[in-house]
Amino acid sequence: MGMMDFYSKVASLRDQGIDLVIVTVTEKEGMGPADVGKKMVVTESNEAFGTVGGGAIEFYAREKCKEVIKNRTSFSEKYCLFDREVKVASNEVKLNMACGGHVTLFYEFVGPKQFVYIFGAGHCGAALAKLLRPLNFYVTIIDERKSVIDALDDSANVKVNKGFVEYIEENRIPNNRYIVVCTPSHQNDYNVLDAILRLNIKPKYFGMLCSKKKVRDYLDRAFEKYGKDVDLHNFYSPIGLQTGGDTPEEVAISIAGEILSVFWGKEDINSHMRDTVKENYEYFHKEK
């Protein structure tokens, strides 16, 4: 695969929202299966394009990419390529190859910060998508109203005109994604919550735009149907940080701030709307 084809492939995979790793040979000492500069791209499904030399090192690198994608981090690793007993440096991994050299690979994670699914493409949903995409979140926005989806600009990576529950059932959102619910009706809001619980999907963040009264109603219905031990620790409602303002743009800033606080691990119970509404906090955390 030529370099132009290689980078075209990377660009195509990125446009599709596929997590991937670019593995590059950055150093070589002695004999080795690939020269400095050789590259391989490995996708989240472990499909590979290009090469870093084949054999044991390439097999190991492809397995290592699973860890890179899971942790969404980049790093270098050095390999000692001998098929006999040799002294291995503390910063090296020994692989059983006859080359007799040393090779360093750089694993570069390429992908968005995270994947965000916005259910509801009205004023708040559209404003939130416009904020998140430039922050390197991959945004999918879903709405059953065709006219609302058609009116959106290109702020979302993917726009889907489909029923909310139908989308969840057909696409099965992976665990550890970010979900925002801001549909045009309370029943649709609850239906999304119900589908997530019923299919045992475990989001990293699950925010819902609704009043504290409705939150308690949704929680009661969820506890009655799925039991009092149902895991809702990542459920944020009322959604957003306590920033003030109630225009769609201001609400979107509040939600985006909360998503960033969860992503960077900077959560503070004194700033989340869920936890600053005293009676809602007590209701949410009461003994069940």
Mean pLDDT per block of 10 residues along the chain (288 residues) reads 81 91 92 85 94 87 94 91 64 71 92 95 96 95 96 93 97 93 93 94 94 83 85 88 91 96 81 67 54
User: Would you say the pTM of this structure is higher than 0.85?
Assistant: no
pLDDT at 288: 45
pLDDT at 50: 92
Q: d(Cα 212, Cα 281) in Å, to the nearest integer?
A: 10
Give me the domains of the chain, ranges plus CATH numbers: 3-110 (no CATH), 115-285 (3.40.50.720)
pLDDT at 218: 86
pLDDT at 84: 63
What are the contacts of 1-8 at 24+ separation with CB within 8 A?
A: 1/49, 1/50, 3/39, 6/39, 6/41, 6/49, 6/50
pLDDT at 189: 93
Q: d(Cα 18, Cα 41) in Å, to the nearest integer?
A: 12
pLDDT at 252: 97
91: exposed, middle or buried (Cβ count in 10 Å: 0-12, 13-18, 19+):
exposed
Q: d(Cα 283, Cα 288) in Å, to the nearest integer?
A: 10
Terminal Cα distance for the chain, rounded: 59
Express each pLDDT in 150-194 by its tens digit. Answer: 999 988 999 999 999 999 999 989 999 999 999 999 999 999 999
pLDDT at 284: 56
In single-letter form, the type of residue at position 48 comes to A
Closest by alpha carbon to 49, among 4, 103, 6? Answer: 6
pLDDT at 89: 58
